């Protein structure tokens, strides 16, 4: 009798897969935090303020507050969607960051500068939402993963003004801000590779326990379906020399 094997429900991605997928959005958030503070110099001034002729308060509202508010709003969108489609959401977030970076670097007035910074904040916040969704899937390594991403993000935000000042002094603000584009392209490649690696499932040679013993090929017809077969019989004789028993002896014709 055939027994139905137990049905297995699809589980959520395990910690190993979530750890692989965490690399892409983690790199995107680190770049986003660096872009947040890269507009300032180490002395607190900014070349954007002098180039666009805006006050320090306007610079704060346009480049910092708008960036942070957009990031906070995007976290709420990236958290639920990132739990289901982490790679797709991360790639979309990096794409938005790329557009915002280019617009900010090529901005000729305050309006385009504001749009570019808002897009950069949206991408960073969406990637941060993916990180939160993936960290919640980690069990024993949840604290380590969150602390690692947070520490690298803070380090990037602190180092970015130093690197930005060196680049802006050597060239100008526009070309210096475009320096984030190669890193974002690397983040796209890393996200795609890590997302592909996380979707590969290990082979389970025996997922349901001890398998049934292998059966040989079916035999048709079955030589003995109901027990011992009848003994083989010889070929039929036609005509039957004695169909009703022993025949009479042959008689001689009368003389």
- In 3-state terms, the chain is what percent helix, strand and coil (to 5)? 60, 0, 40
Superfamily of domain 15-193: MFS general substrate transporter like domains (1.20.1250.20)
pLDDT digits (tens, 9 = 90+) for 80-92: 998 889 899 999 9
Is the pLDDT confidence value at 27 over 50? yes
Contact 130, 187 (CB under 8 A): no
Query: Using alpha carbons only, how large is the chain's radius of gyration in Å?
Result: 39
DSSP 61: I
CA 142 to chain centre: 18
**HEC profile of 217-233:** CCCCCCCCCCCCCCCCC
Q: Report the 10 Å Cβ neighbour count for 138.
A: 18
Task: Report residue 214's pLDDT band, with 50, 70 and 90 as the boundaries.
Answer: low
Of 106 and 10, the structure prediction assigns the larger pLDDT to: 106
What's the rounded mean pLDDT across residues 27-55? 85
Q: Report the 10 Å Cβ neighbour count for 154.
A: 12
DSSP 205: S
pLDDT digits (tens, 9 = 90+) for 101-149: 999 988 888 889 999 999 999 999 999 999 998 888 777 676 787 888 8
């Amino acid at each position: 009798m055939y027994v139905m094997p137990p049905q297995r429900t699809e589980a959520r991605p395990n910690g190993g897969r979530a750890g692989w997928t965490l690399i892409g959005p983690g790199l995107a958030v680190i770049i986003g935090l660096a872009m947040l503070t890269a507009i300032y110099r180490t002395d607190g001034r900014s070349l954007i303020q002098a180039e666009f002729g805006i006050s320090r308060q306007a610079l704060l509202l346009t480049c910092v507050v708008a960036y942070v508010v957009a990031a906070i709003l995007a976290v709420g969108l990236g958290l639920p969607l990132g739990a289901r489609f982490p790679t797709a959401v991360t790639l979309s977030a990096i794409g938005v960051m790329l557009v915002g970076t280019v617009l900010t670097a090529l901005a000729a007035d305050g309006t385009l500068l504001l749009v570019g910074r808002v897009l950069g904040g949206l991408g960073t916040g969406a990637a941060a939402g993916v990180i939160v969704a993936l960290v919640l899937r980690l069990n024993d390594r949840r604290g380590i993963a969150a602390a690692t991403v947070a520490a690298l993000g803070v380090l990037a935000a602190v180092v970015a003004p130093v690197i930005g000042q060196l680049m802006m002094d050597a060239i100008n603000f526009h070309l210096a801000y475009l320096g984030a584009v190669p890193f974002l392209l690397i983040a796209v490649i890393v996200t795609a590779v890590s997302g592909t690696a996380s979707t590969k499932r290990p082979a389970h040679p025996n997922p349901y326990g001890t398998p049934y013993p292998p059966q040989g090929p079916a035999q048709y017809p079955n030589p003995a379906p109901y027990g011992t077969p009848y003994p083989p019989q010889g070929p039929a004789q036609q005509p039957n020399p004695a169909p009703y028993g022993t025949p009479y002896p042959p008689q001689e014709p009368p003389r």
